[in-house]
Amino acid sequence: MERRHPTLADVARVAGVSKATASRAINGAYGTSPTVRDHVRSVAARLGFAPHVAARALATGRGGPHRRDRIEVLIVDPDPAAMSAKPFYGRVLAGAMRALGGENLSLEVRRVAAAPSDEDDAPFGRLLINLPGAAGAALARRSRTVALGRSAPGVVFVAPDNDSGGSQAAAHLVATGRARIGAVFGPSTPCADERRAKFLRVMAGAGLSVAAVDGDFTRSTAYAATRELLRREPELDAVFAACDVTAMGVLRALRETGRRVPHDVAVVGFDGSALAEAADLSSVYMPVEEEAASAVRRLLDPALPPAGRLPTTLTVRGSS
């Protein structure tokens, strides 16, 4: 019987590391210490493991042992127009690229409609956006992982101070005398849930109820949701939008139904993107670029202390 050739999985098992770490150590890729590289290569030599460069290049499409390793920005968003329609993602990429600087790492962006299953060809590190907790935890077992927003217990995350942002938006509307409040909230992600919960708590503390609908951070859904809110509550005098893209749909619906902003209805968004400035929209600013940069720095050096919650600040403009 022909003797079976040892595989990368055999090397990883004997060396006591993951396949991804074994591959990086053997190839001299970024992300393994000299001690780990020497250990893995010693095990590979002892087992008689000989990687086939051409086969590996064909399998991965990445050009063999001298390829640059990569950080993957994994975005779960069912909106096919998400990358062009939502400024948040562009700001994430700008911050991630700034943090990479001169490192010999590439940045790979992948948008998927639903959380992917575990994969064999794990990158050096992953930046997770909108990943459900269980899916995030599964991916974190394969490579270094940092989430933007809370994920599963044990998964490192960086997030804005959504509580403070939701509180500032609500307090501003109360302070300016608005009493018939509507809201177009976001999908059930940790960050959206946090800003929603705090906004509602502040309004309840002021003795005000909120006519609320759920959205999905798209302009079209926000437009339809606002039309529905106005049918239910025609005397609304304020609307809180869970993000600036949502606010664009809110503003369109108000304009088409003859409501003047801010005279009849005040509008406050969340993100502080370029959209807010262009539309003269009051919005809670999130330091998205710094959030992404901090996450990438943590991927590069897991020994860094947690970033903590990054501050959010309401900028008041003409919409409120």
pLDDT-based confidence at residue 101 (cuts at 50, 70, 90): confident
Domain end, chosen from 66, 90, 115, is at 66
In a domain, 267, yes or no: yes
Q: What is the pLDDT of residues 109-159, one digit of tens each?
A: 999 998 887 666 778 889 999 987 778 888 887 788 999 998 878 889 999
251 domain residue, yes or no: yes
Asked if the structure places residue 320 within a domain, the reply is no
60 and 101 part of one domain: no
What would the pLDDT profile of 209-254 be if each residue is shown by its tens digit? 999 999 999 999 999 999 999 999 999 999 999 999 999 999 999 9
Look up the CATH number of the domain holding residue 260.
3.40.50.2300
Buried b / exposed e over 28-43, threshold 16 CB at 10 Å, is: ebbbbeeebbebbbeb
Note whether 256 and 229 are same-domain residues: yes
**Structural domain range at position 133:** 69-158+288-308
Q: Residue 151: inside a domain, yes or no?
A: yes
Q: How many domains does the chain have?
A: 3
- Please tell me the pTM assigned to this model: 0.78
Q: Tell me if residue 254 falls in helix, strand or coil.
A: helix
Sign of dihedral through CA atoms 100, 102, 103, 109? positive
Give the closest residue to 273 by CA, choosing from 282, 261, 263, 285: 285
Together in a domain, 62 and 200: no
Closest CA to 276 of 302, 310, 236, 313: 313
Q: What is the DSSP string of 15-46?
A: HTS-HHHHHHHHHT-TT--HHHHHHHHHHHHH
Q: How far is the C-alpha of 157 from the C-alpha of 159, rounded, in Å?
A: 7
238 and 180 in contact (C-beta within 8 Å)? yes
Least confident of 128-142, 158-172, 288-302: 128-142
Evaluate whether residue 283 is within a structural domain.
Answer: yes
Q: What's the mean per-residue pLDDT of the chain?
A: 88
Report d(CA 89, CA 91) in Å as an integer: 5
Domain co-membership, 229 together with 169: yes
